[in-house]
Amino acid sequence: MIWLTWRQFRAQTIVTAAFLAVLAVALLVTGLNLAHLYNASGLATCHGSSCGTFASNFISEVKGGLSEKVFYAGIYIVYAAPAIIGMFWGAPLIAREIEAGTFRLAWNQSVSRSRWVVVKLGLIGLAAMVTAELLALLTSWWASPVYQAASAARSDSLSIARIAPPLFGAQGVAPIGYAAFAFTLGVTAGLLIRRTIPAMAVTLAGFALVQIAWPNWVRPHLMSPVRESAPFSIGRLDEVMIGNGNQMIVGDTASKPGAWILTNQAVKPDGQPFTGPPTHACLSQGMQACNASIARLHLRQVIAYQPASRFWSFQLYETAIFLVLAVALAAFCAWWIRHRRLT
């Protein structure tokens, strides 16, 4: 079964290996240049407050150039990899056997149906997880000088929140869980739909839906966020919006470098969210008078956030959840193939 699996899967293996090799060479060449730029900026040897200036200069050199494009391209590649694996590795795995009718021969040999599906899903699923994690490791290695500079800057404007979308899912061990889930989702879609192309489309749509819904509705609640309340500061005021219906929205900068800010509200002394009405000064006088009138409202800033220190905890929780989902889908496929009659 192992030899048969390799024979059937070797084309995908060769294409994937070639892509990884090309990507590794490209990241190595540009990564060495980025590392040289990092060392030349003085960040590698700086101490104390001077690091902030060096970090700001380094990030300014990175922005707008080839390095910035490579940075974002790496994120897109890691996010796209599980979906591609699900579509081109998972969906055809069983659907193609059913379409071609070869399942009648494959599942009536000396190798049992259970062994057939376990070996197929096990070996190709493992390859999927290794591929996704290699991509994450390559791109994370390349981007490490950028993350180090952002951390050294200790500035809200230069901060990079690795724990927040969209960076979170392109690093660490989370791509392992995504790849396993996408692969088994594709296999399940192919088994139920029994047509390769429709199964590929359903896999892409289903995985995209999960990737959109998960960081917005599930991940924020895996751990209770930290909540803080502080007096509203005019010095950190970064938003004043006056809309129709006698409404006014004001906002302070949430000074939490590297954190994932979930909510940031201005509330009245009684604890209710402030939505207006706008002050007379903000309607008819200048910005300075408007700011002074906002200060007299005695507002408070209430933020809820996930601190950067929880990055690895979230990574492990999320990876475990998606691996469990992948195992459940694989078990369903094994049960279906073993007990259902396909014609």
Indicate the residue type of 227. Answer: R
CB 127 within 8 A of CB 13: yes
| pLDDT, tens digit only, all 343 positions of the chain | 566 666 678 888 999 999 999 999 999 999 999 999 999 988 888 887 778 888 888 988 898 889 999 999 999 999 999 999 999 999 999 999 888 887 666 666 666 777 788 888 999 999 999 999 999 999 999 999 999 988 887 666 678 899 999 899 999 999 999 999 999 999 999 999 999 999 999 999 999 999 999 999 999 999 999 999 999 999 888 889 888 768 899 999 888 888 999 999 999 999 999 988 898 898 888 889 999 999 999 999 999 999 999 999 999 999 999 999 999 999 999 999 887 666 6
β-partners of residue 306 are 260
For 45-102, give the secondary structure using H, E and C: CCCCCHHHHHHHHHHHHHCCCHHHHHHHHHHHHHHHHHHHHHHHHHHHHHHHHHHHCC
Question: 285: phi > 0 → left, psi -120 to 50 → alpha, else beta; which?
Answer: beta
Q: Could you tell me which residues come within 8 angstroms of residue 289 by beta carbon, excluding any fewer than 6 positions away?
A: 281, 282
β-partners of residue 240 are 250
> d(Cα 264, Cα 305) in Å, to the nearest integer?
9
**pLDDT for the residue numbered 64:** 84
**pLDDT for the residue numbered 48:** 76
Q: Report which of 123, 106, 162 is spatially closest to residue 313, judged by C-alpha positions.
A: 162
> d(Cα 229, Cα 46) in Å, to the nearest integer?
34
Q: Could you tell me which residues come within 8 angstroms of residue 293 by beta carbon, excluding any fewer than 6 positions away?
A: 279, 280, 281, 282
Look up the pTM and report it.
0.92
Beta sheet of 260-267, edge-to-edge order: 226-231, 300-306, 260-267
Q: What is the DSSP string of 313-330?
A: HHHHHHHHHHHHHHHHHH
**pLDDT for the residue numbered 151:** 84
